[in-house]
Amino acid sequence: MKGKIKIAICGYGNLGRGVEKEIVRSEDMELVAVFSRRNMLEIASNVPVVNMKDIGKWTDKVDVVIMCGGSATDLPVQVPAVAKMFNTVDSFDTHAKIPEYYKAVNESAMSANKTSLISGGWDPGMFSVMRTYANAIMDQGTTYTFWGKGVSQGHSDAIRRVAGVKNGVQYTIPVEEAMERVRNGENPELTTADKHLRECFVVAEEGADKAAIENEIKTMPNYFSDYNTIVHFVSEEELKANHSKMSHGGFVIHSAETGNGNKQIIEYSLKLDSNPEFTASALIALARATYRMNKSGQYGAKTILDVPPALMSKKSSEELRKELL
Amino acid sequence: MKGKIKIAICGYGNLGRGVEKEIVRSEDMELVAVFSRRNMLEIASNVPVVNMKDIGKWTDKVDVVIMCGGSATDLPVQVPAVAKMFNTVDSFDTHAKIPEYYKAVNESAMSANKTSLISGGWDPGMFSVMRTYANAIMDQGTTYTFWGKGVSQGHSDAIRRVAGVKNGVQYTIPVEEAMERVRNGENPELTTADKHLRECFVVAEEGADKAAIENEIKTMPNYFSDYNTIVHFVSEEELKANHSKMSHGGFVIHSAETGNGNKQIIEYSLKLDSNPEFTASALIALARATYRMNKSGQYGAKTILDVPPALMSKKSSEELRKELL
């Protein structure tokens, strides 16, 4: 084997730590640095912690940077900047803003002959792949996406940014009867609120206006305003004891008819004990694909829909044909 | 839109008729001919039926030939021959012989700057894609494939060769408890026989010894002897009425642990009322991808693992990012 693919992590939260933990399983890759805005960061592995302002010195020491910041404020600023110097992979997950995000990242990456894989977690990410395959094969059908039960980091972060909130966790919960109707091929019309509940456990700061907090959460655009949202106020102790797991999951179900009324049902599901560790594993496989795409001259912003599955695998095409095809 | 992608069907059995029926849904494609060894073939659509020996005259009138013959004897002979003249797509499904089949088709296609997509149904095909993604993301885990409930042609043929049997159909049925153990992350060791039941509906000839037939089926090596096999005797009328559907399906379940014992379960399933119509729909989407790969200079034999999902879709990359990512 030639030299290993040299990976840097940018951002050291749950996702960054997940990448650090899981990358040791990929013997064709090695972690070489953690980029952070914080100076005195303690990390688990024995690689340098580099302040973000100095990352320009690392351009010839890193093949791909896995961007592990948040979608709300970190990635829209960081990725267009970093993509001018490095190949990048990220899990930007604000669906409505993907077109403008793509445009900004694409301009940066194209200007430097770099490759940036955007929105590569599981939704967007693997779920997008499933929607695309199902639609490509039977676009006369309808695709339904259900999330949960699980904690959404993005939605929990959103709760925690509300004034007066000390801490909070948000569960997305799929509605079982709605899923059964889809699996039966009933092809129902379902709003997002028909498909999900959003259940929030919130720790308020002392003296905060709980009614105002509840109202601000429930009316927050993109995150909560379209959903049936339940807000519970709990103590910090209760939140820690009962709501600290980062499990998640969901379902993509496509229902279509072919011929004369033959029902065809495709279903994909994830049941994840650790959302950040699964996302980290997906981003690592996509970093491998991104490195290969850049080597073959495919520059600019890409999504997982542009990636042949084989490019994400350690196995050669010959091994894949023999063992997994 | 530019000119439509011109498709020919080669072989007019269940799969060929499925392609003919489903291709009308793809407004970017048109059926232009059916190639057949039979001369007087009646077909449903209003396109020429061309004898196989004359297909050389059609090289500039067809963009992709969808090869619809059987894997046992048709495809291994036909595809290496046709791939010297046309881009092709097929659903060759004899897993053990894929490496040698790939080699033969690749040589033909490379010699003529054509592109041949092999083994593109659902297993191999979509199930291969699912095994590859799961393995690329978490290769520390185990992937389980379950088939059914559905009719196995090979096993039905085996029943019909038993002395005293007039007709018969065999269903492969996944064992629910085995699937539950996998879904629970128990990571069990399972043989094919642990994973499946074989249920047979048999029409006996008048005066035949049913006990002898049942014993011969249940003890048949390779096909039934290792399995929990159930044999029902039914009338010819009942077989026709209740067991003539071509439904099938199955499950690919990947179970892995990340971090410190976090279980991560990926599951993909198909529930198909019509196996040939679903396979036809998949081959049509792959014909679109094959045409595009050929136009961009990607010659030789390819599998669905080499195909970016976006290439199978009618939608532009921009539409996919906006609507399905």
Contact (CB<8Å) B312/A264: no
Name which of A71-75, A245-249, A252-256, B45-49 the model is least confident about: A245-249
**C-alpha separations of B2 from A24, A136, B27, B115, B291 in Å:** 48, 19, 12, 21, 14
**Over the stretch B162-210, which tens digit does the pLDDT of each residue have?**
999 999 999 999 999 999 999 999 999 999 999 999 999 999 999 999 9
Identify the closest residue of chain B to A103 by CA–CA distance.
Answer: B318
Contact (CB<8Å) B136/A285: yes
Predicted pLDDT of residue A218: 97
Give mean pLDDT, residues A20-27.
96
Contact by Cβ (8 Å): A231, A214: yes
- Closest C-alpha to B118, from A289, A320, A286, A126: A320
Give mean pLDDT, residues A227-253.
94
Pairing relation of β-strands B165-174 and B196-204? antiparallel
CA distance B250 to chain A (A): 10
**Strands ordered across the beta sheet of A64-67:** A49-51, A29-36, A5-10, A64-67, A87-89, A115-117, A300-302
Chain A interface disruption, residue of B137, B143, B274, most A CBs within 10 A? B137
**C-alpha separations of B320 from A36, A136, A147, A270, B314 in Å:** 33, 11, 20, 22, 9
Residue owning tokens 């940066």: A108
Give mean pLDDT, residues A251-273.
97
Predicted pLDDT of residue A192: 83
Contact (CB<8Å) B136/A314: yes
Peptide bond into A53 cis (omega under 30): no
State whether residue A183 is helix, strand or coil.
helix
Identify the closest residue of chain A to B324 by CA–CA distance.
Answer: A128
Q: Quick check: A264 pLDDT over 90?
A: yes
Predicted pLDDT of residue B209: 97
Contact (CB<8Å) B315/A135: yes
Identify the closest residue of chain A to B279 by CA–CA distance.
Answer: A137
- Closest C-alpha to A233, from A322, A179, A293, A166: A166
Helix axis angle for B126-137 and A126-137, nearest 10°, is 170
What residues of chain B, 131 to 150, have a C-beta less than 8 Å from chain A?
Answer: 131-133, 135-140, 143
CA distance A206 to chain B (A): 35
**Over the stretch B206-258, which tens digit does the pLDDT of each residue have?**
999 999 999 999 999 989 999 999 999 999 999 999 999 899 999 999 999 99
> In the A/B pair of chains, how many CB contacts fall below 8 A?
214
CA atoms within 13 A on the CB side of A81: 12
Q: Quick check: B34 pLDDT over 90?
A: yes
Reported confidence tier of residue B2, pLDDT bands at 50, 70, 90: low
**Over the stretch A80-123, which tens digit does the pLDDT of each residue have?**
999 999 999 999 999 999 999 999 999 999 999 999 999 999 99
pTM, two decimal places: 0.94
**Over the stretch B83-128, which tens digit does the pLDDT of each residue have?**
999 999 999 999 999 999 999 999 999 999 999 999 999 999 999 9
**C-alpha separations of B300 from A166, B65, B111, B128, B292 in Å:** 60, 15, 8, 20, 13
Of A99, A119, A273, the CB nearest to B264: A273
Alpha helices in chain B (DSSP H): 14-22, 75-82, 98-111, 126-137, 153-160, 176-183, 192-195, 210-218, 236-242, 275-295, 317-323
What residues of chain A, 60 to 119, have a C-beta less than 8 Å from chain B?
Answer: 95, 98-99, 102, 119
Predicted pLDDT of residue A2: 66
Q: What is the DSSP letter of B28?
A: T
Structure token digits, residue B171: 């269903």
CA distance A212 to chain B (A): 34
**Over the stretch B246-290, which tens digit does the pLDDT of each residue have?**
999 999 999 999 999 999 999 999 999 999 999 999 999 999 999
Q: Which residues pair with B29 in a beta bridge?
A: B5
**Over the stretch B281-320, which tens digit does the pLDDT of each residue have?**
999 999 999 999 999 999 999 999 999 999 999 999 999 9
As separate numbers, helices (DSSP H) first and strands (DSSP E) second, chain A gives: 11, 14
Chain B interface disruption, residue of A93, A145, A258, A263, most B CBs within 10 A? A258
Chain B interface disruption, residue of A179, A286, A325, most B CBs within 10 A? A325
Contact by Cβ (8 Å): B86, B65: yes
∠ CA A113-A118-A120, rounded to 5°: 135
Buried b (16+ CB within 10 A) or exposed e, A106-145: bebbbeeebbbbbbbbbbbbbbbbbbbbbbbbbbebbbbb
Contact (CB<8Å) B133/A126: yes
Residue owning tokens 């709300």: A72
Contact by Cβ (8 Å): B57, B31: no
**Over the stretch A119-176, which tens digit does the pLDDT of each residue have?**
999 999 999 999 999 999 999 999 999 999 998 878 999 999 999 999 999 999 999 9
Predicted pLDDT of residue A121: 95
What HEC string does A192-253 produce?
HHHHEEEEEEEEECCCCCHHHHHHHHHCCCCCCCCCEEEEEECCHHHHHHHCCCCCEEEEEE
CA distance B249 to chain A (A): 9
Contact list, B307 vs chain A (CB under 8 Å): 308
Contact (CB<8Å) A274/B262: yes
- Closest C-alpha to A135, from B320, B269, B123: B320
- In degrees and rounded to multiples of 5, residue A34 shows phi and psi of -120, 125
Reported confidence tier of residue B56, pLDDT bands at 50, 70, 90: very high
Reported confidence tier of residue B1, pLDDT bands at 50, 70, 90: very low
Alpha-carbon distance A165 to A159, whole Å? 7
State whether residue B202 is helix, strand or coil.
strand
**C-alpha separations of A290 from A20, A60, A64, B78 in Å:** 18, 16, 8, 37
**Strands ordered across the beta sheet of B150-151:** B150-151, B165-174, B196-204, B228-233
Chain A interface disruption, residue of B19, B268, B305, most A CBs within 10 A? B305
Classify burial at B73, counting beta carbons within 10 Å of its beta carbon; exposed 0-12, middle 13-18, buried 19 or more. exposed
What residues of chain B, 39 to 68, have a C-beta less than 8 Å from chain A?
Answer: none
Contact (CB<8Å) B305/A324: yes
Contact (CB<8Å) B137/A273: no
Alpha-carbon distance B163 to B183, whole Å? 41
Show Cβ contacts of residue A308 under 8 Å, excluding neighbours closer than 6 positions: A289, B305, B306, B307, B308
Show Cβ contacts of residue A3 under 8 Å, excluding neighbours closer than 6 positions: none
Q: Quick check: B60 pLDDT over 50?
A: yes
Identify the closest residue of chain B to A320 by CA–CA distance.
Answer: B132
Alpha-carbon distance B54 to B85, whole Å? 12
State whether residue A14 is helix, strand or coil.
helix
Reported confidence tier of residue A1, pLDDT bands at 50, 70, 90: very low
Q: Which residues pair with B272 in a beta bridge?
A: A264, B248
